[in-house]
Structure 1
């Protein structure tokens, strides 16, 4: 009487094939993941900087905090840094002149490390 099933050799061959496919595809996955985070960071910085500029044009001063941009509905919510996945890592840049009212002139990512092009995230 013959029993149907897989032998240990057949299972090992299938596992080796799956491991090879994962070894080939996982680096590509992580490259795409980092590329998506960088693209999201560029877009977030663009949108928040645009909101700061609009606030300055409307109010005649810069906002005192990112929360003020949300309170006055220039932004729907506090932006999340896509690299650190946090709203608290932003580095706020004050206005260049001490005579200018407000505290938020610009912002940069507080994420450690560099982008794929070699520039630190904090310089974006």
Structure 2
């Protein structure tokens, strides 16, 4: 493990399941792309490889964002909040971030007049994941 990864891990307070929420944000526009979970291995892999990795709770395995779909998140900056219980990864997002084929996972707005879809599907999920 690199010294940088060890220093970062010392800042992070993982929950009882060994996870910490991670927000991915486009580094140059501030666009919030997604939220996922990281464990210590994901933090380490992200910092050592320069591409974002998460922990898939459903698959119970390390997940290299874009490893299957090609929609890579190149790490620009890794930040830990004041309490150490959330991380922010500033990224250069290749293509879409959401498994629905939208740029951001935050595409549903709950407003006084109802729920509005704010982003179109840019890429079919089938073409991303072969499903």
Please tell me the TM-score bracket, short chain as reference.
under 0.3
Structure having greater relative contact order (Cα 8 Å, sep ≥ 6): 2
TM-score, normalised to structure 1's length? 0.24
The TM-score, its normalising length taken from structure 2, stands at: 0.23
> Quick check: which one's strand share is greater?
2
Higher percent of residues as helix: 1
When Rg is computed on C-alpha atoms for both structures, the one with the higher figure is 1
